[in-house]
C-alpha cells in the first residue's frame, strides 16, 4: 500500500482535469501532476530516505510529496516560520538526504545546515523534472514510513512522529467517512500551512480528484481566501480556529462555493463558534480533534452537530470517536473513567503513529500498553461526546483544587469587553499555584470578577489579570502558554 496510488488512480480516471492551482490559475492537470511526480522521484532515494520540504504554501509541495512516495521515501515538511537554526536541528535529527526549499527559505537556510538545499523552481529543480519517470511502486509495505511529522513543539523540543502509509490511509478513509465527501467538482483551498494540517488533507482530496488550490500570496489572507472560495467549486479547507475568526471579522457573507471548513488543532470557544455559524451557516462546519501522533483523527464534531440550537455542551465538545479509532479516558491508576469523570485521553487504531523517530524513551512513554497517551485531559458525557479540558501540564492546581483553564477562558470570553483570554497558573507560596488570566480587551478586573462570580465557582476565579495587546501564538495559531508563563516569572 502506497499513498502514490491515490494520485495514480485519479490521474488515470481524470487525466485532463485541473489538479493544482495557484490562485485562480491552473498549474497542471492530474496527468501532468503524476508525470512530474514520477520524474522528480527518479532523483530521490534510496527507499526510506528522508526528503525535507521547507517552503511557504506552494503548488510544488503537492508534486514533491507524491514524488517522495513514488520513490518510497519519507517526506519531512518543516514549519517554514521556524528560525533557520531550528529548521537545521530538525534536518539533522531526521538525517534528511535533501531539503527542497522555496527561494526565500533557501536563502535563510544557507550556512545553517549541512543538508543539500535544492531551490524549488530553480535550474536544478527543472533538471530533475527532465529525468525519465520511474515506474510507480506496487509493493510498498504499508508500515513503511511516509511522513515524519515534527510536532509543533509548544511543549518543548520538537519530536518526529513516524507516520506510515497505513496511518495516513486510515486518516484519509476516516476523513472521507466522517467529515467530507468531495469529488472532482470540489476544491481543497490551502489556507493553513501545507507542512502541517492542510498538507495532511492532500491525500483524501487527491483521492477524489478535488483541485488543490494554493493562494497566490502563499499564506493566509482572509479576503483572498474568501475570494478563492467564490471562484473555485465546492471549496473545503482546514483552518485553525484563529483563521476562522479572521474570516468572520471581514463581515463578508459566506462565499457561494464554500462547502466545508474543518477547524481544530486548538480550542474553538463556544462563543466564537456561534459567531462563525451565524456568519456562514452552521452546516459548513466540522471540528477535528487530533494530534501529530494520530494525524487529524481522534474525535470529531460532525456537520450535523453544528446547529445553532445545539447546547453549549455539544458545541464546546470535540465530538465523538472517528471511524476506526478507539478512544477512552483513563484515570491516573490506568482504570477507565466513567461519564463525567476526567482523565487522560487515550486512543488506538490504524491511524496511531509507530513511535517517535530515534527517540525510544519518548515512544515508550507515549505508546504504553497498546494506547496512544495524548497528554490531553477530558471526559465523555452520558451522550458520548468528549469534552477536552486541557493538556495535563496546563491544569492549574491551586490550594489542592484542579482548575481547568479552558473552562475559565470560555466564561471570560462571554464578557463583551473581552476579545481574547488565556488562563495559566503562576507559582504562589501560599496556594502552590494561582490562576492568572491574560486578557485582550477593555473589561476591568472588577467587571470580570463580577461576571465570573455569577457563573463559576469562586475558587476558579483569576487572582490576577494581565492586560496585553495580543496573545502570543505559534505559526500554526496555537496560543503559546509557555511564553505567557515565562512573562510571569521574569
Kindly list the residues in this chain that would bind ligand AMP in the complex (CB under 6 A): 151-152, 264-267, 287-292, 318, 374, 376, 388, 391
Taking Cα atoms as reference points, which of 172, 99, 183 lies closest to residue 142?
172
Of the pair 140, 287, the CB lying nearest ligand AMP is at 287
d(CA 32, CA 488): 54
As a dihedral over the C-alpha atoms of residue 315, residue 317, residue 323, residue 324, rounded to 10 degrees, the angle is 180
Cβ-based nearer residue to ligand AMP, 23 or 266: 266
Backbone angles phi, psi at 129, to 5 degrees: -75, -10
Distances (CA, A) of 288 to 97, 117, 189, 234, 441: 33, 34, 17, 20, 28
Q: Which residue has the cell 474553538?
A: 268
Contact between 51 and 77 (Cβ < 8 Å): no
By C-beta, is 18 or 292 nearer to ligand AMP? Answer: 292
Cα 47 to the chain's mean position, in Å? 27
Q: Which is nearer to ligand AMP, 231 or 274 (CB)?
A: 274
The distance between the two most distant Cα atoms of the chain, rounded to a whole number of Å, is 71
C-alpha cell at 49: 530516505
Helix (H, G, I), strand (E, B) or coil at 344: strand
Alpha carbons 145 and 463: distance in angstroms, whole number:
48
Distances (CA, A) of 1 to 6, 41, 74, 170: 10, 17, 14, 12
| Closer of 187 and 287 to ligand AMP (Cβ) | 287
**Residue placing its CB nearer to ligand AMP in the complex, 174 or 186:** 174
CB of 340 to ligand AMP, least distance (A): 19
Q: Which residue's CB comes closest to ligand AMP?
A: 291
Question: How far apart are CB 26 and ligand AMP at their closest, in Å?
Answer: 31
Minimum distance between the CB of residue 3 and ligand AMP, rounded to whole angstroms? Answer: 20
Identify which of 379, 378, 366, 387 has the alpha carbon closest to the alpha carbon of residue 287.
Answer: 387
How far apart are CB 263 and ligand AMP at their closest, in Å? 7
- At closest approach, how far in Å is the CB of 264 from ligand AMP? 4
Could you tell me the smallest distance in angstroms from the CB atom of residue 298 to ligand AMP? Answer: 8
In the complex with ligand AMP, the residue whose CB is nearer, 121 or 266, is 266
Shortest spacing between CB 151 and ligand AMP, in angstroms: 5
Nearer to ligand AMP, 199 or 264 (CB): 264
Least distance (Å) from ligand AMP to the CB of residue 149? 8
Amino acid at each position: 500500500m502506497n499513498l502514490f496510488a491515490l494520485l495514480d488512480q485519479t490521474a488515470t480516471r481524470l487525466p485532463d482535469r485541473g489538479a493544482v492551482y495557484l490562485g485562480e490559475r491552473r498549474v497542471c492537470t492530474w496527468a501532468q501532476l503524476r508525470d512530474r511526480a514520477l520524474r522528480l522521484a527518479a532523483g530521490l532515494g534510496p527507499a526510506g530516505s528522508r526528503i525535507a520540504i521547507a517552503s511557504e504554501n506552494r503548488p510544488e509541495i503537492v508534486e514533491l510529496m507524491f514524488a517522495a512516495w513514488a520513490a518510497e521515501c519519507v517526506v519531512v515538511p518543516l514549519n517554514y516560520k521556524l528560525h533557520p537554526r531550528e529548521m537545521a536541528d530538525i534536518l539533522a535529527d531526521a538525517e534528511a538526504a535533501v531539503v527542497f526549499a522555496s527561494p526565500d527559505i533557501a536563502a535563510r537556510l544557507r550556512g545553517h545546515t549541512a543538508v543539500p538545499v535544492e531551490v524549488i523552481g530553480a535550474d536544478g529543480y527543472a533538471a530533475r523534472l527532465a529525468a525519465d519517470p520511474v515506474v510507480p511502486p506496487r509493493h510498498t509495505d504499508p508500515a513503511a514510513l511516509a511522513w515524519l511529522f515534527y510536532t509543533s513543539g509548544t511543549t518543548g523540543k520538537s519530536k518526529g512522529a513516524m507516520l506510515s502509509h497505513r496511518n495516513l490511509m486510515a486518516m484519509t478513509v476516516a476523513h472521507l467517512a466522517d467529515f467530507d465527501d468531495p469529488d472532482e467538482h470540489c476544491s481543497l483551498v490551502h489556507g493553513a500551512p501545507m507542512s502541517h494540517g492542510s498538507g495532511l488533507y492532500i491525500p483524501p482530496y487527491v483521492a477524489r480528484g478535488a483541485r488543490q488550490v494554493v493562494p497566490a500570496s502563499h499564506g493566509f489572507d482572509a479576503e483572498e481566501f474568501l475570494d478563492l472560495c467564490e471562484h473555485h467549486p465546492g471549496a473545503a479547507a482546514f483552518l485553525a480556529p484563529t483563521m476562522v475568526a479572521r474570516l468572520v471579522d471581514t463581515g463578508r457573507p459566506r462565499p457561494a462555493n464554500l462547502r466545508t471548513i474543518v477547524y481544530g488543532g486548538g480550542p474553538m470557544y463556544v462563543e466564537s463558534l456561534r459567531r462563525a455559524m451565524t456568519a456562514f451557516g452552521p452546516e459548513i462546519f466540522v471540528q477535528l480533534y487530533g494530534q501529530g501522533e494520530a494525524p487529524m483523527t481522534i474525535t470529531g464534531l460532525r456537520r450535523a452537530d453544528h446547529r445553532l440550537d445545539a447546547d453549549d455542551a455539544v458545541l464546546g465538545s470535540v465530538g465523538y470517536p472517528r471511524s476506526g479509532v478507539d478512544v477512552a479516558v483513563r484515570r491516573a491508576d490506568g482504570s477507565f473513567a466513567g461519564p463525567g469523570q476526567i482523565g487522560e485521553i487515550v486512543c488506538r487504531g490504524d491511524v496511531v503513529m509507530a513511535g517517535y523517530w530515534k527517540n525510544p524513551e519518548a515512544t515508550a512513554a507515549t505508546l504504553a500498553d497498546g494506547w496512544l497517551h495524548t497528554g490531553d485531559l477530558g471526559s465523555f458525557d452520558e451522550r458520548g461526546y468528549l469534552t477536552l479540558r486541557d493538556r495535563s501540564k496546563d491544569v492549574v492546581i491551586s490550594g489542592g483544587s484542579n482548575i481547568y483553564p479552558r473552562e475559565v477562558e470560555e466564561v471570560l470570553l462571554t464578557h463583551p469587553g473581552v476579545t481574547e483570554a488565556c488562563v495559566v497558573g503562576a507559582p504562589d507560596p501560599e496556594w502552590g499555584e494561582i490562576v492568572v488570566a491574560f486578557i485582550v480587551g477593555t473589561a476591568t478586573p472588577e467587571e470580570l470578577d463580577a461576571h465570573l462570580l455569577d457563573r463559576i465557582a469562586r475558587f476558579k476565579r483569576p487572582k490576577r489579570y494581565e492586560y496585553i495587546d495580543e496573545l502570543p501564538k505559534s505559526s500554526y495559531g496555537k496560543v503559546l502558554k509557555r511564553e505567557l508563563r515565562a512573562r510571569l516569572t521574569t
